[in-house]
Amino acid sequence: MSTITILLDGLYPNGPAIKLCKDYNWNYMMVSKDNSLSSVWEEAYGLKKLETGNTLNQIYKDRTQYFWWVNNIDYYYGNNDKHHLRVNVVVCEESVEEVDHTGEIVKKFPVMPGFQANH
């Protein structure tokens, strides 16, 4: 049996796309901006404060990465929110130190989108 994993950019984080992946039992990860699926992000940020153990810090090459995640967030969509899914949110916040033109070390924070992934 083959395992399929779908990786989608920020155009696709919506109920029908997530449902399609779940219906076919595909693993999936979708890039999502804070203004996409606002109810999911609101819940994720709220639960992050309560689920303090869902984190990972690591160094990858010249970058410091901080991951955090929240599982089983209720997501309602469609007319009158008649459809329901459960999603997980994984976020990578990343920073890198660079030397500017004066020789000073500057810490930069590249924008890292959040991801929604099934479990």
Q: Which residue, 98, 100, 70, is CA-closest to 86?
A: 70
pLDDT band at 119 (very low <50, low <70, confident <90, very high): very low
3-state secondary structure at position 17: helix
Mean pLDDT of 19-28: 90
End-to-end, the C-alpha distance of the chain in Å comes to 18
In the predicted model, is pLDDT for residue 39 greater than 80?
A: yes
Based on its alpha-carbon atoms, the radius of gyration of the chain, rounded to whole angstroms, reads: 17
State the pLDDT at residue 110: 58
What is the tens place of the pLDDT at every residue in 44-96? 999 999 999 999 999 988 888 999 999 999 999 999 999 999 999 998 888 88
**pTM of the predicted model over 0.85:** no
State the pLDDT at residue 57: 94
For residues 37 and 105, what is the distance between their CA atoms, to the nearest angstrom?
36
Percent of the chain with pLDDT over 90: 40
Mean of per-residue pLDDT scores for the chain: 84
pLDDT band at 34 (very low <50, low <70, confident <90, very high): low
Helix (H) or strand (E) holding 23: helix 15-23
